[in-house]
Amino acid sequence: MTELAHDWFPRPLPDTVSLGERSWLYSSYAFMHSHGTVRIGPDCGIYNGTHFELGPEGSVEIGRYCTIVGAIIRTNARVAIGEMTFIAHEVVIADDPFAIPPRGAAEPAVADILIGENAWIGARAILLGGTTIGDDAVVGAGAVVRGNVPAGSTVVGNPAQVV
Amino acid sequence: MSFDVRTVTGEWDYATLPQNVRLGERCWIERPQSFERFRSTRSPGVVLGDDVRVHGWTVFNVEPEGLVTVGDGSVLVGAVFMCQAEIAVGRDVVISYQVTIADSDFHPRDPEERRRDAVASAPQGDRAGRPAVESRPVRIGDGAWIGIGAIVLKGVHVGAGARIGAGAVVARDVPAGAVVEGNPARVVPA
């Protein structure tokens, strides 16, 4: 059982959550609605406003040196985030555009969301089911992404397009 | 400092809500903070139907003359209601994360009026000097779904069963059963 020394929320981290060495997580409140598995690598910062909203089949893997300023991650599939990726304020990463929080019941199978290494996701961007973000890619603020963002590219807008 | 976990699990005492908030049977409200900016003096000022679920990201920012109604079975995940007069949400509506619904611009558009509004709105300003601002009711039809990050603006009627895509900005009416996406939101093939 892991408890965060600084936590205001009176619960330990769920057993299905692991936090790497030297990583900072603002609170166990991040897992208030979670029914899935979360693996956070070493040297990550996961800040206030981040919520893991995982269905029973949901899993999130975050590589080392990632910063998540404030993202809602709602999945019943796999969300993988490569090392050194930066995710800004009020980002939503979700299987479904009409997502609601999980309640622990079985949910239909959905597509994974994969984010490469050293990617940069701008504030208020929305990444939907089946999205793949390549290494070193940049997603502009407020972009709505569904599909493939090539490595090294920059996408902006709704729907997101390469610029 | 101890923290009462019930204030974030929907198990707090709903009797602490203002008297003009009416709740249906089996209504669930995750956090009382959703009503921190509720200041309607209408009776009622908020009506939530049976089996409505209100998650903690939802905000009822309701001005003194405002009324927000939500029909039976609807789910409000992150619905920020900015209400001056009336926002009516139907039955079995889904409003996803980070959605804003506003029935007014809350400030004038005319540049000179905006200057007056800025002065009157200052912390020590005379609010009585604020220019009048039009509000137009917003209606969300039964069974409509509003996607992540969408914004629905004043006067919009969203038809029954419509789908508002993620990130859409809706300033015009949406026909029943239609699917709209983008900014400005446009109808796309269902």
* Rounded distance between C-alpha atoms, residue A163 and residue B32, angstroms: 44
CB–CB of A92 and B77 under 8 A? Answer: no
A65-85: per-residue pLDDT in tens?
A: 999 999 999 999 999 999 999
* pLDDT at B30 exceeding the cut of 90: yes
| Residue B1, pLDDT score | 55
User: Is B96 close to A98, i.e. CB distance below 8 A?
Assistant: yes
The alpha carbon of residue A139 and the mean position of all alpha carbons in its chain are separated, in whole angstroms, by 14
Q: What pLDDT shows up at residue A1? A: 65
Span B11-29, pLDDT tens digits: 999 999 999 999 999 999 9
Cβ–Cβ below 8 Å for B182 and A92: no
pLDDT of residue A146: 96
Residue of B6, B107, B114, B172 marked catalytic: B107
Beta pairing, strands B179-181 & B186-188: antiparallel
Average pLDDT over residues A113-119: 98
| pLDDT recorded at residue B82 | 98
- Do the Cβ atoms of B134 and B147 come closer than 8 Å? no
CB atoms within 10 A of CB B127: 8
- Which three-class secondary structure state does DSSP give residue B47? strand
Q: Let me know: does A10 contact A27? Beta carbons within 8 Å.
A: no
Within 10 angstroms of residue A6's Cβ, the number of other Cβ atoms is: 9
So what's the ipTM on this one? 0.96
Quick one: average pLDDT of A104-131?
A: 96
- For B184, other C-beta atoms within 10 Å of its C-beta total 11
Give A70's contacts in chain B (Cβ within 8 Å): none
